[in-house]
Amino acid sequence: MKPVAFDYERPHTIEGAVGILSGNSDAKILAGGQTLGPMLNLRLVQPTLIVDVTRIPDLTRIEEEEDAVTLGACITHAAIEDSRFADPSNGFLAEVARGIAYRAVRTRGTIGGSLAHADPAADWLSCLLAVGAEVLLTGPRGKRRVALKEFVRGALDTELAPDEVLDGVRIPRFSRKARAGFAKICRKSGEFADAIGAVVHDSDRGVLQLVAGATRGQPILINGEAEGLGASFPPPLEPVREKLKQSGLVGDAYELNIHMAAIKRAIANAQA
């Protein structure tokens, strides 16, 4: 239960981190360490070098734009839970953050670390897919901005190159009337979910997105317009169920039912 020996570097800039990653293909970024720490201790991960990015000021930045807010990747769940900055989502992010794991995990776990790890049962992945977030990646070839739905390719599988740093998450601003809900079904509170439902409805921006998370692969994103769910809220659920069935990612009838239950609860929370 002790990690293997590794070297430790603590860059103070994103470029510094990228430089270290470029020079060592066996390096691993450490942010809050709430996933990587256990994996290191269990020796599931045995890197030769740990790159601690928590001292990089840019990674706790908040960039306000007219239509979006970018959160630095190292912003913790607790900072979001406690609303330590102006929330672009009318409190939706804080509500989701409150339910992530436990307080002693939330004080260190980071939004960027969670997305980079891309566990299909992670709260941020499903929530931010529904929100329509983008991730900002910086590497030796420059910066790029990737929609989260394209960033995630499967369970623990993302577009992030080994020498890139996920440095921020760009979250579109909700309109005042926007509604959003999140629900998860867990065997124990704070535990990895068996099913996650997330919904964002923002008629002013023409957005209706539903997500079924904690599937057998990446979360399933359902875009209301693309699926012809219409403009009314709550949306019809039969096409949603059909879409989940066809995805091949929700398994048997029991799993389909708990995923639908999570989506229904998320919709109910959005209406509450």
Partner 1 sequence: MTAITLTVNGQSVSAEITPRTHLADFLREHLLLTGTHIGCEHGICGACTVEIDGEIARSCITYAAGCDGAEIRTIEGFDDDKLMARLRQAFSEAHALQCGYCTPGMLIAARDLIRRKGGLSGAQIRTEMSGNLCRCTGYVGIVEAMARVMAERATLDLPSASVRGARLGPAPGPASSTTGNAKPAAPHRSLAASANVGSASARGTQSPPPVAPTTKGRRIKVEVGSVEEVAGKTRLTQSFVLEHPRDAVWQLMADAQAVATCMPGMKLDAPLPDGRVTGRMEIALGPIKASFAGEGTIASFPAEYRQVISGKGGDRKSSSSAAGEVAYRLRRETGPSGVEVTRVDVELGYSLTGPLAQFSRSNMVRALVSRIGESFAQNLDAKLSTPEDAEILSAPLSMGSLIWRVAFDRLRTGVTRVFGRKS
Looking at beta carbons only, is 190 or 228 nearer to partner 1? 190
b/e burial code for range 223-243 (CB count within 10 A of at least 16 → b) = ebeebebeeeebbeeeebbeb
What DSSP assignment string belongs to 182-216? EEEE-SSTTSPPSEEEEEEEEGGGTEEEEEEES-S
Q: Residue 110 in contact with residue 32, Cβ under 8 Å? A: yes
Residues numbered 6-25 forming contacts with partner 1, rule: CB under 8 A? 6-8, 10, 12, 14
- Decide if residue 154 touches partner 1 (CB under 8 A): yes
Could you say which residues in the range 227-266 bind partner 1, by CB under 8 A? 248-249, 251
Contacting residue, 16, 19, 68, 227, with partner 1 by CB under 8 A = 68
Of the CA atoms within 13 Å of residue 168, those in its CB half-sphere come to 22
Distance CA 129, CA 11 (A): 30
Which part of the chain contacts partner 1 (CB under 8 A), choosing from 110-118, 173-181, 228-236, 263-271?
110-118
Comparing C-alpha atoms, which of 34, 6, 29 is closest to residue 19? 29
Residue 54 as a binder of partner 1 (CB under 8 A): the answer is yes
CB nearer to partner 1: give 29 or 200: 29
Q: Does 113 engage in binding with partner 1 (CB under 8 A)?
A: yes
Residues 166-185 that bind partner 1 (CB under 8 A): 167-168, 170
Verify binding: residue 35, partner 1, rule CB under 8 A: yes
Task: Determine, following the binding rule CB under 8 A, whether residue 225 of this chain makes contact with partner 1.
Answer: no
